[in-house]
Structures are given as structure tokens and as C-alpha cells.
Amino acid sequence: MSDHPVYLTGVGIHPFGRFPDLDVTQLGLAAIRSAVEDSGLERPDFDAAFCASVYSGVAAGHKVLSRVGWTGPPIMNIEAGCASGGAALSLGADLIRSGRHQRVLVFGMEKMPRGMIRSSFFPGWCEEAGLTPAPAYFALRARRLMEHSGVTPDDLADVVVRNRQQGARNPFAMFRKPVTRQEVLTSRLVCAPLNLWMLCSPNEGAAAVILSNQPARGQPAIKVAASVLRSHHPGSALGEHTPLCGRIVAEPESPTSVASREACSQSGFGIKDLDVVELQDTDAGRHILSVEELGICGAGEGGAYIRNGGGSRDSDLPINLSGGLLSKGEPLGASALGQIVELAWQLRGTAGERQVNKARVALAHTVGRGANASVVILARD
């Protein structure tokens, strides 16, 4: 099998937030046009297109591209929960690696209903029992972190404080006002130990990337060094193994841990080689769990990691300089690709106030219900 290089040659984003005057097709089209302009192409001369979305209905990608007549190549619509964008990118990258295609368009978009994220994945009685993804399940998971990783309510609040500080520098984020620990802890209690501001806000937005077997002209060459998607094995209801799928004697690795290890193997880069990370922070507890499962810190060390400044802007490995989902909000289909856009800017050196000095290797991580875990590693040639 051929193994052609995969380059990120164009990126674009529509801000995340609430846009009552725009439909989801307009959001998606805005991101695509931005990516096309960024790539230097007059139009997206692509061999295939992948559209990531959860709530946008049948053939959502076709509707976007039909609006401007950019149809003809295969258009595939991908749903993998919060990891939809990562799944779409992995499929597109694999087509280029194989030599089958030369250029692929990948985009994600969403207009999320207000309130908690509700999912047809679960039967109604699971929601009544508090075992749906949010918010009760997130709270149970956070309590487990408090027991096994020494996490405190202050640690959870500090994750929010840090991400909101960083999101204040991101013009594409929904929440751009710094907050204090006390404000987070006194925001409305949703499901102990999680207060309202410890949970991301489902919202609206779009992001797009163009992948190619050749680097873009006139900008640094950014390579997709690895793109891995893995699903769960049956295990604890409080791990990333899908609630109520059963418990076995020895709990298996989470899909995030498996995907992280395989992405490092595929790319040739280890966690210690990373310069910047965007990871899943659907809630403050998920942020800490992500750090552990990716191998950024050891299992059970998440609380100490946060207290010691791990992941801060001034640390050895800055995390979520975009502000993460806690600042940006989460339009499911667009969230993973939004991470890719941010990291592309970091590797190009064009992230403005958020810029990491001399960033060359970056990792993006999302976890979607299923459970699907996506890990993408980007590297500047």
C-alpha cells in the first residue's frame, strides 16, 4: 500500500456562538470559503468531500456544496458524536495516504439545540436515570476523578479559569471574558460537583480544512503526521466505555489511551515531542481525564498536574490556548476541526496573542459518544 504524505493546505472557521439569522448551511459555507481562500485555490478543486455533523439532517454536506455548485465528487456525511470532525479528517487523510486522491475537503458544522446535549444513542429510561452523556454522567465521572486522582472542586474551577483566560484571546470563541475561581464555584450547581461554568455550552459554528498530497505554496508545510480513531471496549460505566455497557474484571484501556499511543507510533512523535495540545474539555473533569488518558501526566496524577500549573500558557506544554470547549462552546460537528484550525495557526506562527513560541508538533483530541476517540498529530516540516 502506498504511503503518500498528507498536508494541511487550507483552514477556515466560522466563529462559535449563537447566530439566529444564519442557517447551518450558511455556517458551513462560510468556513469552506475561508479554507479555500486560505489555500490559494480559486475554488475547491477536490476529489472528495467529508461533512461532519450530528444535528444537521440528511445529506447536510450535499446541501452546503450544492448551494455554490461545488458538487460532482463523492460527498460523504460523517457522524461520530463530538469526534465527528476527527473521524471525517481521518477518512480524508487515509484517501490521500493511499494515493487514491490528491485533494480532499473536510468540514464540520452544527446548530445545537439549547440546553443539555441530548442523544438518540440512549433510550429514554437512561436519561431519566441520569446516565446520559450530560450532565449527570459527567458529574459521576468527575467524582471518580476526585476519588482516584485527588481532584478537588478548586482544581475543576481552575481548569475553567485557565481556559477562559485563554479564550479571551480568541476572537472565534463564544465566551471571551476571564472568570475567577470564586465565580466558577458560585455559578449555579448543575450536578455535584459540577457547577454551570464547569460545563461547555452546546452552540453553533463551523470549521473546514483542505488536505492535499502536496504542501501549500507560500506558507509553512503542515503535515498530518497521524490521524487515529478508536472506539471503546466494554468496561466500567464510569470510564469512556459507554454507560451501562457492562463491567469486566480488568478494565480495558480507554479509546483515548489507545488512540494516543497509536498516533504516536504512526507519527514517530512521542508526548514529550509535543509543543501545543487541543484536547476535549466537554466539562472541567473531562479536561483532567483527557490529560491522564493521553499520557501527558500519569494515571491518578490529574489533580496535582492542574495544581502545579500543568497545561498553562507558560508551561512546557500549553493546552487549549484556543480556550477549549469551555470558552468556545461545542458545535459537535465542528469542534474537532476547530481544534485543527487553531493548531494549524500555531504551527504556522499566525495565532496572534495565543501563539506558542516555535511550535512544530501539535496534538488534537476529541471524544464522542459511542465512545469514539480521535487523536490527530500535526507537524511542521
Q: How confident is the model at residue 341 (pLDDT cuts 50, 70, 90)?
A: very high
User: Which of 79-83, 278-282, 369-373 has the least mean pLDDT?
Assistant: 369-373
Q: How many other CB atoms are found less than 10 A from the CB of residue 374?
A: 30
Mean pLDDT of all residues belonging to the chain: 92
* Mean pLDDT computed over 43-71: 93
Q: 155 or 250: which carries more pLDDT confidence?
A: 155
| DSSP secondary structure of 136-187 | IIHHHHHHHHHHHS---HHHHHHHHHHHHHHHTT-TT-S--S---HHHHHHS
pLDDT at 347 over 50: yes
What's the confidence (pLDDT) of residue 133?
Answer: 63
What's the confidence (pLDDT) of residue 115?
Answer: 73
* Mean pLDDT computed over 37-42: 90
Instruction: Compute the distance between CA of residue 247 and CA of residue 254 in angstroms, rounded to an integer.
Output: 13
The closest alpha carbon to 158, from 179, 137, 128, belongs to 179
Task: Give the CATH class of 7-114+204-209.
Answer: alpha beta
What's the confidence (pLDDT) of residue 217?
Answer: 87
pLDDT at 1 over 50: no
For the chain, the domains span 7-114+204-209
pLDDT at 334 over 90: yes
Q: How confident is the model at residue 59 (pLDDT cuts 50, 70, 90)?
A: very high
In sequence order, the β-bridge partners of residue 228 are 375
Q: Which three cell numbers stand for residue 365?
A: 483530541
Q: Which three cell numbers stand for residue 137?
A: 454522567
pLDDT at 42 over 50: yes
* Mean pLDDT computed over 274-280: 98
Per residue in 287-324, pLDDT (tens digit) is: 999 999 999 999 999 999 999 999 999 999 999 999 99
What's the confidence (pLDDT) of residue 124?
Answer: 74
Half-sphere exposure at residue 197, Cβ-oriented, CA atoms within 13 angstroms: 25
Per residue in 4-15, pLDDT (tens digit) is: 999 999 999 999
Specify the pairing of strand 372-380 against strand 194-195. Answer: unpaired
First to last CA, the chain: 23
* Mean pLDDT computed over 44-56: 93
Please tell me the pTM assigned to this model: 0.94
Instruction: Compute the distance between CA of residue 75 and CA of residue 97 in angstroms, rounded to an integer.
Output: 19
Per residue in 207-244, pLDDT (tens digit) is: 999 999 999 988 899 999 999 999 987 776 666 655 55
Per residue in 344-361, is it b (16+ CB within 10 Å) or e — as a string? bbbbbeebeebbbeebbb
* Mean pLDDT computed over 340-364: 97
- 322 and 278 Cβ atoms separated by less than 8 Å: yes
